[in-house]
Structure 1
């Protein structure tokens, strides 16, 4: 199948209806029998799950599983930003005059990513991470900092795939897809956690109840099937850990870098 034809089929299947149908099946008792096959197909570390495999009643329950206590450690230095997810880094770098450069060959503006929020100005020359979660990964999203939730926004949109094909062959999917944006104020500034929906993702959900103040590493939200988190730090506040680059794998709680006072 040619790339142009596959792109057309992807455009046609990017409606929320497709994801709702997929999500409805994943939440039905009929999906339970697919859990062992799902684990085998993606090499999932089922032994890390909070419950035994047979205790999950649906595929969605397994996919949004919590982990056993102690499966992830959180870097606790007070000036540290940690990874909110288990993921592959598919984009990383300084934001240049409001633009995230060369994310799989495409540029994105902070303005479009944050849906033209007045807070865009805070990130004009900040730092960004694009963190891709594959079906193999643990899909709960945690707070990268200790701080207060200042604002939340739900941005309706498409549900294009955010895998290699989607990011390279589709037009700026990270800013066209449905997004859930959370702004968290910490002692040395603010971060934006942009949760991006994807093909066959029926929803992005906040944990309930969602606290006003979050500890570093505390649960914030979760994906129902794989997707991407874009993490933004404000201008002049963040220095990335050496050695992190596109292609690096990170786990929830691992240090991504350190904050400094705003310049």
Structure 2
């Protein structure tokens, strides 16, 4: 009964207009007094922020803050795949015949996650990594590989929460929420960077100008409030690092594994 009630409440609160209202408030000057309280509540390391707290004019500006230069080391290995974000890895493993198995108890199909793109065929037996960003985390998204952007797609959808409750108790959240998908061609094949919106996320934005050729670790996009990134690696192009990925807290630029030609 409790689970049903929580699910029903989440369904009612996961309307795009509610997220839009939240987003508008976060982008307004009225949100400025909440910045320090927000930082304290979530234990955000304000000393890492590019600017002093007093220089952020809105809560959204603080939330999408850049870091001071040099605080995230980008793994330099020519064959390394790096984390595009500061995050907790909540799912990782081989893709089996187009299915991602048991992410918080639920299975997902690549076809659904990628909005039935013809590129689905590239990932039927590849590898997936789910990276969850909490409100505490730095929310800019960087490129996990050096390569060329070959396609982008904006998939409209819902704004269910992508936290532990949402992933466990809401039906296939990752493939029902709004998504911004970037396909990158690199030396070993192709990678899909799937940015998944969440409750109270007003939007997912690409940085501007967005270059067609990008170097590993460059800024790609950012979330306005917390969400999730799903990395998909083409069949036969990726080996995860030896100490495993699932349950690891990682920082942007940290090595996740090795790319190889398929």
In structure 1, distance between residues paired with 2:237 and 2:208: 30
Corresponding residue for residue 63 of structure 1: 63
SS at match of 2:25: helix
In structure 2, distance between residues paired with 1:189 and 1:86: 24
Give the superposition deviation at 1:174: 0.1
> Which consecutive segments of 4 or more residues in structure 1 shift more than 3 A?
none
Corresponding residue for residue 203 of structure 2: 203
Corresponding residue for residue 30 of structure 2: 30
In structure 1, distance between residues paired with 2:185 and 2:31: 40
Corresponding residue for residue 140 of structure 2: 140
In structure 1, distance between residues paired with 2:245 and 2:141: 21
In structure 1, distance between residues paired with 2:245 and 2:50: 31
Q: Deviation per CA, 1:6-65: give whole Å up to 9, x if none.
A: 111111121110000000010011111111111110000010000000000000000000
Give the superposition deviation at 1:244: 2.5
SS at match of 1:54: helix
SS at match of 2:100: strand
Q: How many residues of Structure 1 are paired with residues of Structure 2 in the alignment?
A: 262
Corresponding residue for residue 81 of structure 2: 81
* Residue 45 (1) aligns with residue 45 (2): yes
Structure 2 residue runs of 5 or longer lacking an equivalent are: none
TM-score of the two chains, using structure 1 as the length reference: 0.99
In structure 2, distance between residues paired with 1:103 and 1:95: 12
SS at match of 1:152: strand
TM-score of the two chains, using structure 2 as the length reference: 0.99
Give the superposition deviation at 1:246: 2.2
Pairwise CA RMSD:
0.8
In structure 2, distance between residues paired with 1:3 and 1:245: 29
Corresponding residue for residue 166 of structure 1: 166
Corresponding residue for residue 254 of structure 2: 254
Corresponding residue for residue 237 of structure 1: 237
